[in-house]
């Protein structure tokens, strides 16, 4: 019997074995009725995202990020040409809700003509974080674009390292996420330490918050602010589970939990139970560490925000910043109902919270940060117009370091080593190379929002107000952003003093004439 004959016989035997199993099993009717060939259906289903991504979907059809949006992030991260030719693919005339930015013929600021102008200079926040409440370590963030909360555990160590190195290159902040502060966060990037419901990294042996451990942690790392996480856009109102198989010795040590046991995050905090006790805890954290302290939350019931602002007005206690996460956000895995239908989308949720602070006269005292697909220039500009002082980027930063939107984050099989603890898959991600791409992407986004601000006649995106944006309501009509979200004139802007400060800073750093594009390392 020849080799080919033996191979054919082995193949036929294998197919016969599969057919016999299909006919005998009772779990899948399709396979009992169509043995062997029925497996084709499951194969196509398993590679459906890849087929749509590469063969079927148009430039604007995919979700959560379209092909055009991903192409813009990839090109920006690699310092390639991120322009698009032959006009927009978007159907502006018929797309209700589409934002249009109103440029000005004349204004205080004039956009630089060089395509790379603005890439080489920083773009600081228009507000000082913690300055209003006199925190000991109040500071002005050096970047209006920062890296959002993504924990070591949900992301691989190499991905966290790449983002931290990128934050150092770009001069921006990296939020640790609720999974604690690891060695991967210690490569030069400054940090916002997030405190979640399980108090990972600052908990005692019983899982309760430990102030001494928090103080030791922030003293030994470049932590610039503390963020108390109430909820996130992907799964508001839910806790979290890191399966036992992913709780390695390293992750267990960082989080302060047993190795190889399911790591559970409760759905609520144990240190406070209402807005009043929350403010007590915020002031305790700020007093003990000297750091600015803020909240992160998705938006649902507005009663909490109304009570919070009333207490801030009457008692003098308060938060230094508020991070609003939109329901369209989602680096974390979640049940479909939570992903699709729980918590308001960013614009609506943020506008409601900002309006609550503004009506209480507190909007100029608090730094507002937004998250939820704001790593795209058009979304970011609307966020700034609504009152954001800074924007956080998460999935866009993942794309910049290699994510291909395979949507395998919840399976531990991310093919690019970004959202996995599989050592083999993670080893292909080079933190040194990817850090440059992360920084270049952040620098490009800052450059683009600065250019749009100057096209609107102002020096800084934080000075864009609601008059600069209108929203299409159909083919022949539109409404100003101010009317859409029931804003009053002047809302969305920093105080007069903060406006004057940021104009002085931007004027002082304005480049004189055109310059050559910077090298890939000259970012931030």
Are the CB atoms for 393 and 379 separated by under 8 Å? no
The answer, yes or no, to whether the previous bond of 64 is cis (omega within 30 of 0) is: yes
Q: Output b/e per residue, 408-434; b: 16+ Cβ within 10 A.
A: bbeeeebbbbbbbbeeebbeebebeeb
* Phi, psi of 455, deg, nearest 5: -65, -30
pLDDT score for 94 = 61
pLDDT confidence of 34, banded at 50, 70, 90? Answer: confident
pLDDT score for 240 = 72
Are the CB atoms for 151 and 178 separated by under 8 Å? yes
Are the CB atoms for 294 and 368 separated by under 8 Å? no
pLDDT score for 170 = 96
- More reliable by pLDDT, 32 or 440: 440
Question: Smallest Cα–Cα separation from 393: which of 472, 349, 473, 449?
Answer: 449
- More reliable by pLDDT, 510 or 79: 79
pLDDT score for 469 = 95
pLDDT confidence of 107, banded at 50, 70, 90? Answer: confident
- More reliable by pLDDT, 80 or 26: 80
pLDDT score for 66 = 82
pLDDT at 459 over 60: yes
pLDDT confidence of 234, banded at 50, 70, 90? Answer: low
7-21, 203-217, 248-262, 380-394: which range is least confident on average? 7-21
pTM reported for the whole predicted model: 0.86
Are the CB atoms for 454 and 114 separated by under 8 Å? no
Query: What is the Cα–Cα distance from 437 to 384, expressed in whole angstroms?
Result: 24
Show the tokens assigned to 110.
């004039």
Query: Per-residue pLDDT averaged across 303-327, rounded?
Result: 96
pLDDT confidence of 515, banded at 50, 70, 90? Answer: very low
Consecutive H or E run containing 440: helix 431-455
pLDDT at 361 over 50: yes
Pairing of β 190-195 and β 478-480:
unpaired
pLDDT at 99 over 70: yes
Query: Per-residue pLDDT averaged across 118-126, rounded?
Result: 83
**How many Cβ atoms sit within 10 Å of the Cβ of residue 520?**
15
281-285, 324-328, 379-383, 406-410: which range is least confident on average? 406-410
User: What's the chain's average pLDDT?
Assistant: 86
Longest dimension (CA), the chain: 92
pLDDT score for 43 = 73
Query: What is the Cα–Cα distance from 307 to 309, expressed in whole angstroms?
Result: 6
The percentage of residues in the chain with a pLDDT greater than 70, rounded to a whole number, is 85
pLDDT score for 4 = 73
pLDDT confidence of 523, banded at 50, 70, 90? Answer: very low
pLDDT at 132 over 90: yes
Query: Per-residue pLDDT averaged across 12-19, rounded?
Result: 85
For the stretch 187-228, pLDDT in tens is 999 999 999 999 999 999 888 999 999 999 999 999 999 999
Strand partners, 148: none
pLDDT at 519 over 60: no
Residue bearing tokens 């693919």: 89
CA distances from 515 to 113, 117, 519 (A): 10, 7, 12
Show the tokens assigned to 368.
């507002």
Show the tokens assigned to 324.
């609003």
pLDDT at 516 over 50: no
Question: Smallest Cα–Cα separation from 188: which of 432, 492, 413?
Answer: 432
Strand partners, 194: 227
pLDDT score for 279 = 98
The percentage of residues in the chain with a pLDDT greater than 90, rounded to a whole number, is 56
pLDDT score for 514 = 40
Query: What is the Cα–Cα distance from 397 to 462, expressed in whole angstroms?
Result: 22
pLDDT confidence of 387, banded at 50, 70, 90? Answer: very high
CA distances from 320 to 59, 235, 296, 365, 366 (A): 40, 24, 11, 8, 5
60-64, 110-114, 340-344, 375-379: which range is least confident on average? 60-64
pLDDT confidence of 474, banded at 50, 70, 90? Answer: confident
Most confident of 35-44, 148-157, 243-252, 257-266: 148-157
Q: Which domains does the chain have, with CATH numbers?
A: 99-509 (3.20.20.70)
Residue bearing tokens 């970047």: 143
Are the CB atoms for 130 and 227 separated by under 8 Å? no
pLDDT score for 339 = 66
Are the CB atoms for 420 and 431 separated by under 8 Å? no
266-270, 333-337, 479-483: which range is least confident on average? 333-337
């Amino acid at each position: 019997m020849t080799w080919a004959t033996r191979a054919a016989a082995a193949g036929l035997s294998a197919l016969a074995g599969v057919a016999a199993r299909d006919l005998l099993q009772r779990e899948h009717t399709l396979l009992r009725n169509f043995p062997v060939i029925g497996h084709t259906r499951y194969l196509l289903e398993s590679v459906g995202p890849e087929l749509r991504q590469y063969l079927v979907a148009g430039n604007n059809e995919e979700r959560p990020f379209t092909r055009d949006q991903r192409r813009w992030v990839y090109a920006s991260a690699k310092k390639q040409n991120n322009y698009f030719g032959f006009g927009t693919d978007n159907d502006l005339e018929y797309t209700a809700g589409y934002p249009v930015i109103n440029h000005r013929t004349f204004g205080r600021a004039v956009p630089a003509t060089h395509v790379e102008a603005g890439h080489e200079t920083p773009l600081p926040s228009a507000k000082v974080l913690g300055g209003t409440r006199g925190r000991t370590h109040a500071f002005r963030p050096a970047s209006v674009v920062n890296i959002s909360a993504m924990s070591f555990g949900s992301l691989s160590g190499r991905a966290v390292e790449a983002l931290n190195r990128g934050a150092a290159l770009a001069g921006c902040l990296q939020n640790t996420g609720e999974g604690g502060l690891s060695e991967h966060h210690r490569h030069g990037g400054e940090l916002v330490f997030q405190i979640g419901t399980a108090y990972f990294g600052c908990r005692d042996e019983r899982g309760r918050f430990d102030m001494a451990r928090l103080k030791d942690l922030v003293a030994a790392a470049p932590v610039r602010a503390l963020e108390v996480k109430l909820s996130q856009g992907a799964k508001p109102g839910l806790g979290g589970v890191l399966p036992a198989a992913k709780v390695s010795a390293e992750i267990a040590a960082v989080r302060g939990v047993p190795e190889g046991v399911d790591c559970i995050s409760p759905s609520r905090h144990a240190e406070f139970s209402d807005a009043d006790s929350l403010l007590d805890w915020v002031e305790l954290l700020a007093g003990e560490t000297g750091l600015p302290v803020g909240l992160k939350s998705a938006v649902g019931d507005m009663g909490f925000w109304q009570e919070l602002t009333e207490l801030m007005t009457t008692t003098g206690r308060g938060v230094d910043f508020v991070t609003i996460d939109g329901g369209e956000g989602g680096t974390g895995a979640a049940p479909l109902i939570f992903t699709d239908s729980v918590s308001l989308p960013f614009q609506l949720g943020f506008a409601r919270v900002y309006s609550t602070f503004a009506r209480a006269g507190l909007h100029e005292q608090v730094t507002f940060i937004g998250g939820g697909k704001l790593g795209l220039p058009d979304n970011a500009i609307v966020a700034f117009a609504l009152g954001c002082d800074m924007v956080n980027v998460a999935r866009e930063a993942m794309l910049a370091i290699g994510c291909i939107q395979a949507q395998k984050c919840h399976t531990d099989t991310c093919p690019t080593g970004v959202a996995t603890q599989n050592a083999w898959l993670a080893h292909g991600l080079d933190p040194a190379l990817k850090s440059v791409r992360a920084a270049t992407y952040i620098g490009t986004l800052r450059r683009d929002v600065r250019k749009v601000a100057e096209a609107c006649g102002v020096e800084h995106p934080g000075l864009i107000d609601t008059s600069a944006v209108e929203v299409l309501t159909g083919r022949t009509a539109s409404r100003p952003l101010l009317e859409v979200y029931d804003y009053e004139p002047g809302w969305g802007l920093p105080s007069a003093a903060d406006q004057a400060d940021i104009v002085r800073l931007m004027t002082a750093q304005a480049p004189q004439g055109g310059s050559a594009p910077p090298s890939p390392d000259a970012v931030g």
